[in-house]
Structure 1
Amino acid sequence: MTSPDPAAASPDGNDRRPQAQVWTGGSDFEVREFAPPTLGPGESLIRLTAATVCGSDRHTVSGRRPGACPSVLGHEGVGIVEETRGDVPVGTRVVFSVTSVCGDCRSCRRGLSAKCTSVRKVGHEAVESGWPLSGTYASHIHLPAGVAIVPVPDTLPDGVAATAGCAVATVMAMCEAAGDLRGRRVFVNGIGMLGLAAVGAALSRGAAEVVAADPHPDRRRLAERAGAATIEPGEQVSEIDVALELSGAESGVRACLDAVGIGGTTVLAGSVTPGPEVAIDPEQIVRGWRTITGVHNFEPHHLAEAVDYLAADGTGLPWEDILAGPIPLADLPDEFADPSEGLRTVVTITP
C-alpha cells in the first residue's frame, strides 16, 4: 500500500484518498491507495456503495480469460456522485455503463458505441494505463466523459441495481435485437445472471411462453421461479420464435439454431471467447426467413431500460437466491478463492 499524501486531504481535514483491491495476477490482490483524480470536462468521481462479482472477473482471475494486470477489476457497481464536471448532479445515486466511448467514430455515429474504435472498458484497464480507478472493487471509480451514467431510484437495493451495469443492460440489448416479443415463444439457453434476467425480461415484454435450458437443476429451478418452463440440455424444443443464447457452448448455440421456426430469430451473446465453429445450413436460413445476430455489450439507452426494468417487473425475480453476500471489500480475495453460492455476490463498500 502506498503512503497517504497529506496534500490529497479534503478541505475538512479528512483523508479521502481512494482505495482499491488491485488484482496483481493469479489469485493475488493487494490494497492500494490512489490520488484523487483531477476531473476533465464531462468526467465524474463516484463514491461506490456496492459492486457485484461478475463471472467474467472470475474467469480473469482463474486464467480462463486474459485481462490487464495489475488492474482494478469489477464492472457492475452502484454509488453516489461525489464530484463531477458532467450533467448528473453531485449526490445522485447512479449506475454506469461498462464502456467509455469517443462518440465521434463511425461506430459511435451509427449507434454502435459499444464497438467504438477507441473503446476503453470499466474494470478492464491497467493501473498504469492512465485510468487507474477504472473498476468497481474500490471505494471510488473515476468515470470518463464517454461512460453513460443513469440515476437509480432509492427503492432499488444496491445489489440489484449493480447488475444493471452489465448483465441486465446486455439483456435489454438482446431483447431489442430480437424484436417485438409480444405473443412470441422464447427459448433461453444458459441460466446464469444474464439468462435469468432474459427470462424475466421476455415475460415482461409480453412473451407468450419462455422455455429455459441449463445443465444445473438449481438454475433450472430459478428459471421456473422466474416464470419459465424448463428442459434439460439435449431435450428438443421446436417452433421457437426467438432464441436467446447465453452459455457460449457449442451445443447451446446449436440448440438455439435448431429451435427457431419459420421467421425465427436467434440472438447470440454468450460466445465471447473463441470456440468451435458451428455449421449453418444457408438453405435453412433462406427458405425459413430465419435471422441470426449477435450482441456484445450495450448502448446507453439499454442501461436506462435496465434500471427501469429492475425497478418494475424485475422486482419479481428471485433475488434472495440470485444474490449472495453481502461481503466487505476486504474479503474480495477470499471470494475469488472460494466463491459464494448465487449468481452474483454483492460486495459492500463502506466510506
Structure 2
Amino acid sequence: MATTRAAVYSGKPELDIREVTLRDPGPGEVLVRIGASGVCGSDRHVLDGDWEMPQPTIMGHEGAGVVEAVGDGVRSLEPGDHVIMTWFYPCGVCTSCREGRTWVCTGSGSEACVLPDGSTPMTLDGAIAYPYLAVGSMSERVVVAEQAAIKVPKELPFDVAALIGCSIATGVGAVVNDAELKAGRSALVIGAGGVGISIIMGLALAGASPIIVADVTDASLELAREFGATHTVKSDASLPDRIRELVPEGVDVAFEAIGRPDTIAIMPATLKRGGTAVIVGLPPQDRPVPIDALALAEEGKSLLGSNYGSTVPARDFPMLAQLYLDGRLPIDRLITNRIPLDEVNDAFDLMRSGARGRSVIMF
C-alpha cells in the first residue's frame, strides 16, 4: 500500500487534490509512476455533468509513465519500461478481440472504471475510489491492467506519449482506420481542438487535399493552419454553403471533432454524393441528433461512428510514437500549456474558454 496525490471528482465541476491510497499490483497488473497526463475533453464531459461516472472518481485517462512494479503473471512488461496507458483495455477473449477489433471489446471493464477482476486499486478515506476508465492518470501513481500499458521507446517524451494515448490515436485513427482516406481526397474537420488537430495531422500524413477546417475561434483556426489546414472557415449554421463555395460538389469525408448535436446534424450536407461523415467527438448522454435519412440513402452517403479511431493500442501506439520520433507527426507542437497537478482546474477553464492547443499535467 502507498499514498498518491490525485485529482478527485466528487460531483462538482472543480477537482480536489487529495491523498489517495493505492494498493500493490495484483496478478496481471502493473504499477506505473505517471510522467504526464493530458487534460482531455472527455474528462471535461464528466466534470460538466454530461456523462455519469461512479464517484469518487480519480480523473485522467490520457497518461504515460514508467513501470515501477509488476504483479504475478505479467510477461510483457518489467520495471523501468516506459508505457502509454490505453483508456479502453481489451479483455482478449471476446469475439471482437479474437477478430482483432479490440476497440469494440465487449469484455472490458474500462467503462465501469474497474480492473479485469472487477476491483479498483484505489481508496479514499477508506472507501472505494474509481480510476477514470480504469486509468486515473491525474495521479502520481496508478495500478492498471497489463494490457492497458503499452511499451514505447524511452526517448519518447512523456507529454507527447500521454497525448498518443487518447487524442492522437483517436484523430489519426479516424482518418486512417475509419475513413480509410486515400491521398488526394478532400476533407472537412469541424472543431480544431485537441482531437480536431489530431485529425488534421492524420489528414496531412495521408495526403488529403484540400483540408478544410471549421471552428468558432480565430486562435483555433490559426493553429489548424499551422498543422496543415489548406482552408479555414468559421463554423455556423451556414457551413454547408461555405464548404460548397470551396468544393462545389462537397467533400469526400467530413469529421466532427466536438460532439455537438447541431454540428453533427449538418455534417452530411457538406458531403459530395457517396461521401462519408465520421462522428469522432462524443456528445452528451441522451442527446439525439436529427439526420435526414432519405438524403443519406438517395445520395449514397455514409455516417460512421468512430470509437477511439478503431485503434489497436498494442499495434498503433508504438507506430504513432515512431512517427513522432521520425519527425512526421508534430505532436509536441500541439501542447501549449504544461502545468503541475495543482493547476488542473485552471486547465479545464482554459478548455471551456476555447483556448488553442492542449494542456498537459507534468509530474
Aligned residues: 330
2:338 is matched with which residue: 320, 326, 331?
A: 326
- 1:346 maps to 2:335: no
Please say if 1:196 is aligned against 2:197.
yes
- d(CA) in 2 for partners of 1:92, 1:104: 26
Change (3 A) 1:188 1:337: closer
Q: Secondary structure at the match of 1:107?
A: helix
- Give the letter aligned to residue 258 of structure 1: A
CA distance in structure 2 between the partners assigned to 1:148 and 1:28 by the alignment = 25
Percent identity, aligned pairs only, is 25
The answer on whether the counterparts of 1:189 and 1:195 sit within 8 Å (CA) in structure 2 is yes
Task: Give how far 1:55 is off.
Answer: 1.7
Residues in 1 aligned to 2:27 and 2:179: alpha-carbon distance in whole angstroms: 38
Structure 1 equivalent of residue 51 of structure 2: 65
Alpha-carbon deviation of 1:174?
Answer: 0.9
Q: Does 1:88 align with 2:99?
A: no
Which amino acid in structure 2 is aligned with residue 327 of structure 1? I
Normalized against structure 2, the TM-score is what? 0.81
> For the residues of structure 2 that align with 1:99 and 1:287, how far apart are their CA atoms?
36
Q: Which residue identity lines up with residue 225 of structure 1 in the other structure?
A: E
Consecutive unaligned residues of structure 1, counting only runs of 5 or more, are: 1-7, 9-15
- The yes-or-no answer on 1:101 pairing with 2:87 is no
Q: How does 1:261-272 map to 2 (within 5 A)?
A: 261-272=272-283
CA contact (8 A) 2:211 2:228 kept: yes
**Residue 40 of structure 2 corresponds to which residue in structure 1?**
54
CA 1:89–1:28 in 2, change beyond 3 Å: closer, same or farther? closer
Deviation, structure 1 residue 314: 5.2
Equivalent position amino acid for 2:64 in 1: V
Displacement of 1:153 in angstroms is 4.7
- Aligned partner of 1:185 in structure 2 is 186
Q: Does 1:275 align with 2:290?
A: no
* 1:183-332 alignment, distance < 5 Å: 183-228=184-229, 229-233=231-235, 234-235=238-239, 236=241, 237-238=243-244, 239-273=250-284, 274-282=286-294, 284-297=295-308, 298-300=311-313, 301-313=315-327, 315-316=329-330, 319-320=332-333, 322-332=334-344
TM-score (normalised: structure 1): 0.83
Q: For residues 182 and 42 of structure 2, what CA distance do their matches in structure 1 show?
A: 28
Question: How far has the Cα of 1:129 moved from its partner?
Answer: 5.6
8 Å CA contact 2:265–2:289 kept in 1: the answer is no
Pairing of 1:32-43 with structure 2 (within 5 A): 32-41=19-28, 43=29
Within-5 A mapping of 1:9-24: 17-24=3-10
Q: Is the alpha carbon distance of 1:278 and 1:337 closer, same or farther for their aligned partners in structure 2, counting shifts above 3 Å?
A: closer
